[in-house]
Amino acid sequence: MQRNAIKVIGAVLGFSLAGLAHAATNTCDAALNPTGTLGTPSFCITGEPAHIAVQLTVPAAKLVQCKWSFVVYGVAPAGAAKALKLLTGTFKAKYCDGTTPLLFTTDLSAKLNKQLAKKAILKKLPKKANEGALVLDVTVKPNYGGTEKTRTVVNATIYLTRFSISGTVTGAATAGVAMYLTGAASTSTATSANGAYLFSGLLNGAYTVCAQSNGFSFAPSYCSVTIDAANVSSVDFTAYSNSYSDMTLIPAGAFQMGTNNLPYEDEMTDAGPNHTVNLSAFYMDKYEVPYAVWTGVYQWALGNGYDFDNAGYGKAMNHPVLDVSWYDCVKWCNARSEMQGLTPCYYTDASQSTLYKSGLIDVANTAVKWDANGYRLPTEAEWEKAARGGAVGMRFPWSNVQTISRAQANYFGDINFAYDLGPNGLNPLFATGAWPYTSPVKYFAPNGYGLHDMAGNVREWCWDWYASTYYAISPSNNPRGPASTPHTYRVLRGGGDGWYYGLANNCRVANRGNSAPDDAYSGGFRCVRGF
């Protein structure tokens, strides 16, 4: 059988891909890219999309449909165990006349880049100081039969440049601060004597950087960083001694808790009677715990004896964490306290026989050190006072209007409620991509106390057991909910899941929700601290 002439004409390999970058050359090096002859590749590595052009001379006897198959293998050099099949496909043309060379051209970039992005492939790349490499073997084979064998026509090396994230920690703590990196890669390091830190050997992608040290809080609490073909520097943090940098003070004093007796309020049968409540001062997180902050504490906790039922989930690092149970939240609060050298609020010693890192056992409200300076869930009364923002008799967290609209919260619009300005349905700004349709923390304007998302977005766990008739017997000073027996649900506040079907009536500050404490699909949370 006549052998087919196979030649690569102007084949170009290159990649433009989040998470990967290449050291592109603009001209062909003759030593590395020889001029193509029969079966010999000729190609350049540039920044253009990947194209492989194959020219074939077909035997005169084959005046039929010509079809060639190809396969692309990726092999990590430096002793990788096995090649990875990345891509398969065909070159195809009709009515070959046996004399005219046929030029088959196919663009492999989209499919190839998608395959290269998979973690299973990236993990097999060698980690050098500044770059890694992936060998691509492209072979073609005739489909019309005969004894023709597979032939490698392209053997290219793509260099994946690696980058770094660096910064400095200043303030009350500098040396030995633990720095955590999560996202496209997860690792940790510690600051030098002058507060400097460095994460190196990173590919393009989205990352989150957190700083942690016993006895200190940090501003910001986390930094979102995107590497896009360049090093990222000046990702800086300031350390404060047990500070409240991302929290706001809710002053001591009385407020009116429960239904406001406004129109459309009478269906909240569990939010009455309206009653006066006196609370001690406390600090509250300005926004719902972001997924980035959850992740940093969660990873630390796993390495320090904690056991969670759920890992949590967030649409993005700056969106609120959700899919966490009440039990997960109280354990996370303890871990956050320990990370910062604060006194955990929930008992962990056997002598108290109430709270353990592996779970919570609480018959009455005896599992909390209410005078500790660590983090805890807010009581239902603390949550509602904070949500009202210092205003009196208002339906929502804002103090100027009794209505709600898309400009104020992430919720499901329904103009059948007289106080819902609509429009109907989910907010299209956030109802994109995959579920959940949450909005970033701090996206909407804060209330009078500087708190964001006290209506809509995700529901928030509170400490209290839920009882529909509790308001009739609630203490007037620092109420902490009923004893557990015979109650089986914990309180949720904040307006239902606005990203799902949280309607305007659920966004009212007096509205109460509840769920089983082991339910991981009920919402997120925010923390409070005492003095």
Going residue by residue through the chain (531 aa), what tens digit of pLDDT does each one get?
A: 222 333 332 232 222 222 222 233 323 233 333 333 222 232 333 322 233 344 444 444 443 445 666 666 665 544 444 566 767 777 665 555 555 544 444 555 556 656 655 544 544 544 433 334 455 566 656 555 544 444 454 444 444 557 899 999 988 889 999 999 988 888 999 999 999 999 998 878 899 999 988 778 787 878 989 988 789 999 999 887 766 778 999 999 999 999 877 655 557 889 999 999 999 999 999 999 999 889 888 888 888 888 888 999 999 888 999 999 998 999 999 989 888 888 999 876 544 333 444 444 444 456 788 999 999 999 999 999 999 999 999 999 999 999 999 999 999 999 999 999 989 999 999 988 888 899 999 999 999 999 999 999 999 999 999 999 999 999 999 999 997 767 889 999 997 675 667 899 999 999 999 999 889 887 899 999 987
CB distance 166 to 233 below 8 Å: yes
- Examine residue 102 and state whether it is found in any structural domain, yes or no: yes
Dihedral over alpha carbons 13, 16, 21, 27 (to 10 degrees)? 40
CA distance 398 to 71: 61
54/174 same-domain check: no
* Domain presence at residue 223: yes
208 is a domain residue: yes
Question: Is residue 43 one of the residues assigned to a domain?
Answer: yes
Nearest-angstrom CA–CA distance, 193 and 211: 15
Q: Are residues 80 and 174 in the same domain?
A: no
Query: How far is residue 483's CA from residue 223's CA, in Å, rounded to a whole number?
Result: 40
Whether residues 156 and 169 share a domain: the answer is no
Q: Are residues 79 and 151 in the same domain?
A: yes
Are residue 83 and residue 151 in the same domain, yes or no? Answer: yes
Cα-based angle 64, 69, 70 (whole degrees, multiple of 5): 150
Residue type, 71: V
Element at 425 (helix H, strand E): none
Residues 97 and 112 reside in one and the same domain: yes
Domain co-membership, 117 together with 23: yes
Domain-located, residue 499: no
Residues 28 and 59 in one domain: yes
Question: Residue 60: which domain range?
Answer: 5-160
Total domains in the chain come to 2
Residue carrying the six token digits 């977005």: 457
Candidates 385, 373, 367; CA nearest to 327 is 367
Helix (H, G, I), strand (E, B) or coil at 223: strand
* Residue 101 domain flag: yes
Tell me, yes or no, whether 131 and 167 share the same domain.
no
Structural domain ending residue among the three candidates 202, 219, 245: 245
Q: What is the CATH number of the domain that holds 25?
A: 2.60.40
Instruction: State which of 160, 181, 206 marks the end of a domain.
Output: 160
452 domain residue, yes or no: no
Token pair for 281: 């001062």
Asked, for residue 197, whether it belongs to a domain, the answer is yes
Both 151 and 42 in a single domain? yes
Burial class of residue 523 (count of CB atoms within 10 Å of its CB; 0-12, 13-18, 19+): buried
> Same structural domain for residues 112 and 19?
yes
Q: Global pTM? A: 0.64
As a whole number of angstroms, the distance between CA 48 and CA 112 comes to: 14
Could you say which of 160, 186, 216 is where a domain stops?
160
The token pair that represents 428 in the structure block:
């299209």
Statement to judge: residues 142 and 241 lie in one domain = no
* CATH code at position 191: 2.60.40.10
Spatial neighbors of 473 by CB under 8 A, at least 6 apart, are none
Cα torsion 71, 76, 80, 86: sign: negative
